[in-house]
Amino acid sequence: MNPETRTAAPACVAVATADSRYDILIGGALMGDPASWRGLPAAAQAVVVTNTTVDALHGDALRHALAPHYRQVSTLALPDGEAHKDWPTLNLIFDHLLRHGADRKTVLFALGGGVVGDITGFAAASYMRGVPFVQVPTTLLAQVDSSVGGKTAINHPLGKNMIGAFYQPRRVICDLDTLATLPARELSAGLAEVIKYGPIADPAFLAWIEAHLDALLARDRKALAHAVKRSCEIKAWVVGQDERESGLRAILNFGHTFGHAIEAGLGYGEWLHGEAVGCGMVMAADLSAALGLVPADFVDRLRRLVERAGLPVTGPALGAARYLELMRVDKKAEAGEIRFVVIESLGRAAMRPADDALVTRVIERHCAPA
Amino acid sequence: MNPETRTAAPACVAVATADSRYDILIGGALMGDPASWRGLPAAAQAVVVTNTTVDALHGDALRHALAPHYRQVSTLALPDGEAHKDWPTLNLIFDHLLRHGADRKTVLFALGGGVVGDITGFAAASYMRGVPFVQVPTTLLAQVDSSVGGKTAINHPLGKNMIGAFYQPRRVICDLDTLATLPARELSAGLAEVIKYGPIADPAFLAWIEAHLDALLARDRKALAHAVKRSCEIKAWVVGQDERESGLRAILNFGHTFGHAIEAGLGYGEWLHGEAVGCGMVMAADLSAALGLVPADFVDRLRRLVERAGLPVTGPALGAARYLELMRVDKKAEAGEIRFVVIESLGRAAMRPADDALVTRVIERHCAPA
């Protein structure tokens, strides 16, 4: 990373929903910058929720940054991985908060990737019916997607993110330095969500990603800064219009209906969420083509990009019937009818149902034989 | 009960918060009145959540009423009692919803007392990040207090109602007929919350309760209708000004700080919530007198009324130190300082801290020796 960029002012993207307003700060060395932490809600106590892997890398930096602002700063390091985004792990947070005498003003800091952010956000939404929390995402996926917009949740054995709340953080601090230590597999997983914003909202951004994918994979600071900023801008724009996903917001789930089926079918944690979304986007693009909405070469274009990003483009061999069964419990389904996010035209997405037969053919084209 | 009152139009109390508005209907025979169920959110599926006791008494009536409005009506009867207001029971609701293919539009109906209402409300708040729900309270306590205002929660072994959400129902249907089958002990428990509204908000209502307590205990329909309506009016007025308990709403917890300590100290379910609140109000009134806010004869007046209502006025022998320890994890506590709801003058309550020594003397005056 280039040292002189560390002194550049961070980018700031504002998120405004009906009853909350907060900033996403994006830049290098934000964790150590006192300005990142000023003006948060006052409290006697802060609790850092993280996982054991991230704690070892960034826990001390965050605790050091918080020490001047809170009388007591405690840390709870959860086990690492999507398999732990569940009830028992959520209860570890409640146990910690109660044992440390956390009150209604206590601020939670979610330091980690999407799993830590989602579970900590839901804990913050539910503890004493709501305490403030701050997202400090340390993965590309969390910085461009899960930490922004206030969707919090845990998984249920019968479906991903089935139990949760819409609950906005007070601030999101995307310190690009944390991406330096990110495993390559997780960098690729994050790129899936970055790529997503192109087809659903911004054809020019899609072309930019194609042109800068090598720089992104090489963790070029300037390229990462732009990718995170543009992704957050698009997400903030969508969430500002439809916080509760009564309409527009659903387009952010492009690739997620197929993706969730992959994750649930294999057991959470087998594929990374971004890997499932990457493969799911190729399937959703093919479905869009099969519905006559986009030309077939769009499917090829997207598949090439997903593949170049280091993501799988062939789904696991669950069998089409199992895919359909899993997709019917997707949150977007209504009365058992699956609703897919499809690309209507490049840069514009919409929700559509689709015939089982058509979906089956898409699955069979893109998945290993059962 | 008097048959001709069954045809009287139900009373209607409106609740209006920043982003929701709903009605509380109060009257006889509401369950069987088609008008009670008109205009609720449309959905393919309704799920009745109740407990085994209430299901046997009122389940069929509710299912019959809902049948014309939903393609599928299923029932989940939970085990009965405050001891089951916990994670494992909440998970029974999520399991049921997922196994029945409940989607985001599915409407939950909470048929029962405070436990059923609180746990079903939290399930509705969290399932797929929020589905609509309707309260059908069948106890006096739920009709005058817990079903109104959107506080939902479950208990944690270290504290009552520690995990929950502010989540408003779409309607509250208080069918006074359900009070006919209510055990006497639960009727008394409900009267504790009715009595509460007098000291905190309405001296004339306190005098009315004193004059009509025998009629209420005899389940006189007209007296019950007035008690439920006036209680709901006061609660709706408070909640409309402060849904999230950032200030005024806390006065509704008069007697609850001591009461929660009794419940937690004995183990949830040993004393009914209303019993603990009744005894807790006497202690909170004594604390108000000890702080020089109200004359000593107010304490006697309130104790006599609580006692006449069939409620305990002597707390269990937990020892003052244990009471204080339990109260320090109360949700109203801040940085370990307990904040009590006290009566400043008859009809007006406020939040105050108090010296441990003073509180200890209050506990020792009103509790059996440890």
Which residue numbers of B are catalytic?
Answer: 129, 151, 193, 235, 245, 249, 253, 256, 260, 273
Give me the CATH code for the B3-181 domain, please. 3.40.50.1970
**Residue among A119, A126, A166, A260 with most chain B CBs within 10 A, to mutate:** A126
Name, in order, each residue with C-beta under 8 angstroms of A308's C-beta and a sequence gap of 6 or more.
Answer: A213
| Prediction pTM value | 0.93
The pLDDT of residue B3 is 44
Comparing C-alpha atoms, which of A344, A247, A278, A338 is closest to residue A145? A278
**Closest approach of B45 to chain A, Cα-based (Å):** 8
Residue A347: name the closest of A200, A197, A192, A196 by CA.
A200
Mean per-residue pLDDT, B302-327: 96
What per-residue confidence (pLDDT) applies to B255?
Answer: 97
B78 is written with which tokens? 């939970």
Taken in order B122, B124, B127, B129, the sign of the CA dihedral is negative
| Measured distance between the N- and C-terminal CA atoms of chain B, rounded to whole angstroms | 45
Residue ranges of A 285-314 with Cβ closer than 8 A to chain B: none
Range scoring the smallest mean pLDDT among B13-17, B122-126, B144-148, B330-334: B330-334
Comparing CA positions, the residue from A152, A157, A121 lying closest to residue A49 is A121
CA distance B165 to chain A (A): 4
Partners of A350 in the β-ladder: A342
Distance, C-alpha A243 to centroid of its chain = 15
Amino acid in position A328: R
Is B20 touching A (CB cutoff 8 A)? Answer: no
ipTM given for this complex: 0.92
Cβ contact (<8 Å) for A165 and B44? no
Structural tokens at position A149: 């917009």
Q: Residue B82: name the closest of B147, B155, B141 by CA.
A: B155
pLDDT of residue B152: 98
Contact B276, B262 (CB under 8 A): yes
The answer, yes or no, to whether residue A124 has pLDDT greater than 70, is yes
Give the count of alpha carbons within 13 A of B127, CB side only: 30
- Backbone Cα Rg of chain B: 20
SS in 3 state form for chain B? CCHHHHHCCCEEEEEEECCEEEEEEEECCCCCCHHHHCCCCCCCEEEEEEEHHHHHHHHHHHHHHHCCCCCEEEEEEECCCHHHCCHHHHHHHHHHHHHCCCCCCCEEEEEECHHHHHHHHHHHHHECCCCCEEEEECCHHHHHHHCCCCEEEEEECCEEEEEEEECCCCEEEEEHHHHHHCCHHHHHHHHHHHHHHHHHHCHHHHHHHHHHHHHHHCCCHHHHHHHHHHHHHHHHHHHHHCCCCCCHHHHHHCCHHHHHHHHHHHCCCCCCHHHHHHHHHHHHHHHHHHCCCCCHHHHHHHHHHHHHCCCCCCECCCCHHHHHHHHHCCCCCECCECCEEEEEECCEEEEECCCHHHHHHHHHHHECCC
A324 contacts chain B (CB < 8 A): no
- Angstrom CA distances, A147 to A12, A121, B81, stand at 15, 9, 38
Assess contact for B251 and B339: CB atoms under 8 A.
no
Contact A44 B335 (CB under 8 A): yes
Calpha distance B20→B243 (Å, rounded): 10
Q: Which residue of chain A comes nearest to B130, CA vs CA? A: A165
Partner A contacted by B337 (CB < 8 A): no
Under a CB-based contact definition with an 8 Å cutoff, are residues B123 and B95 in contact? Answer: no
Minimal C-alpha gap between A237 and chain B (Å): 21
CA dihedral B358, B359, B364, B369 (to 10 degrees): -140
Cβ-based contacts of A124 with chain B (< 8 Å)? none
What's the confidence (pLDDT) of residue B4?
A: 43
Which whole number is the average pLDDT over A126-137? 98
pLDDT digits (tens, 9 = 90+) for A67-84: 999 999 999 999 998 889
For an interface test with B, the pick among A90, A163, A166, A332 (most B C-beta atoms closer than 10 Å) comes out as A163
Given this model, what pLDDT does residue A303 score? 98
Provide the b/e sequence for B234-243 (b: ≥16 CB within 10 Å): bbbebbbeeb
Residue of B nearest to A165 (CA): B129
Q: What are the pLDDT digits (tens) for A15-59? A: 999 889 999 999 999 999 999 999 999 999 999 999 999 999 999
Which pLDDT value is given to residue A5? 46
Q: Is the pLDDT of residue B135 over 70?
A: yes
Q: Tell me which residue of A89, A56, A341 sits closest to A199, measured CA to CA.
A: A341
Averaged over B4-32, what is the pLDDT? 87
- Give residues 143 to 172 of B whose Cβ lies within 8 Å of A: 151-153, 156, 158-159, 162-166
CA dist A65 → A35, A138, A205, A288 (Å): 10, 16, 34, 47
d(C-alpha B174, C-alpha B140), whole Å: 9
**Domain B184-366 CATH (choose: 3.40.960.10, 2.60.40.10, 1.20.1090.10, 1.10.357.10):** 1.20.1090.10
**For position B111, what pLDDT does the model report?**
98
Q: Nearest CB to A158: which of B98, B163, B164?
A: B98
- Which pLDDT does position A246 carry in this prediction? 85
Structure tokens at A42: 């006052």
Cβ distance of B163 and A126 shorter than 8 Å: yes
Question: Which residue of chain B is at minimal alpha-carbon distance from A158?
Answer: B98
CA B197 from centre of chain: 12
Q: Report pLDDT for B246.
A: 85
Whether the Cβ atoms of residue B187 and residue B179 lie closer than 8 Å to each other: yes
**Counting Cβ atoms within 10 Å, is residue B267 exposed (0-12), middle (13-18) or buried (19+)?**
exposed
- Residues B180 and B219 sit within 8 Å (Cβ to Cβ): yes
- Chain B residue closest in CA terms to A104: B331
The whole-angstrom separation of Cα B290 and Cα A74 is 38
The predicted-structure confidence for A166-225, as pLDDT tens digits, reads as follows 999 999 999 999 999 999 999 999 999 999 999 999 999 999 999 999 999 999 999 999
Nearest by CB to residue B18, choosing from A19, A98, A151, is A19
Domain A188-366 belongs in CATH node 1.20.1090.10:
yes
Across A351-355, B173-177, B298-302, B330-334, least confident range: B330-334
Q: What percent of chain A has pLDDT over 70?
A: 98
CB pairs under 8 A between A and B: 103
**Rounded alpha-carbon distances, angstroms, from residue B155 to A120, B75, B97:** 19, 23, 21
**A336 contacts B166? CB cut-off 8 A:** no
Please report which confidence band the pLDDT of residue A3 belongs to, taking 50, 70 and 90 as the band edges.
Answer: very low
Kindly tell me if the per-residue pLDDT of A343 is higher than 90.
Answer: yes
pLDDT at B95: 97
- Closest in A71, A127, A244 to B163, CB measured: A127
Give yes or no for residue B348 having a pLDDT over 50: yes
pLDDT at B5: 46
Angstrom distance (rounded) from CA B155 to CA B169: 20
pLDDT at A2 over 80: no
> Which two tokens mark B151?
């506080």
- Retrieve residue B61's tokens: 């009536």
Local confidence band at A9 (pLDDT 50, 70, 90 cut-offs): confident
Residues of chain B with Cβ-Cβ distance to A164 below 8 Å are 126, 128-129
CA nearest to A341, candidates A279, A265, A258: A258
Judge residue A360's burial from the number of C-beta atoms within 10 Å of its C-beta, 0-12 exposed, 13-18 middle, 19 or more buried: middle
A121 falls in which pLDDT band (50, 70, 90)?
A: very high
Q: How far does Cα A288 stand from its chain's mean position?
A: 23
Segment B169-227, tens digit of pLDDT: 999 999 999 999 999 999 999 999 999 999 999 999 999 999 999 999 999 999 999 99
Percent of chain A having pLDDT more than 90? Answer: 89
**Band (B261; pLDDT cuts 50, 70, 90):** very high
> Is the pLDDT confidence value at B90 over 80?
yes
What pLDDT sits at residue A1?
A: 45
H or E segment and range at residue A171: strand A171-175
Arithmetic mean of pLDDT over chain B: 94
Mutation site for A-interface testing, chosen from B45, B126, B168, B339 by largest number of A Cβ within 10 Å: B126
Q: What's the pLDDT at A169?
A: 98
Name which of A19, A95, A103, A168 to mutate to probe chain B: the one with the most chain B Cβ atoms within 10 A of its Cβ.
Answer: A103
**Using the 8-state DSSP alphabet, how is residue A9 labeled?**
P
pLDDT higher than threshold 80 for residue A268: no
Max Cα-Cα span within chain B: 61
- Among B103, B156, B329, select the one facing A101 at the smallest CB separation: B329
CA B20 – CA A265 distance, rounded (Å): 38
Contacts of B331 in chain A (CB under 8 A): 103-104, 128-129
Domain-wise residue ranges, chain A? 3-181, 188-366
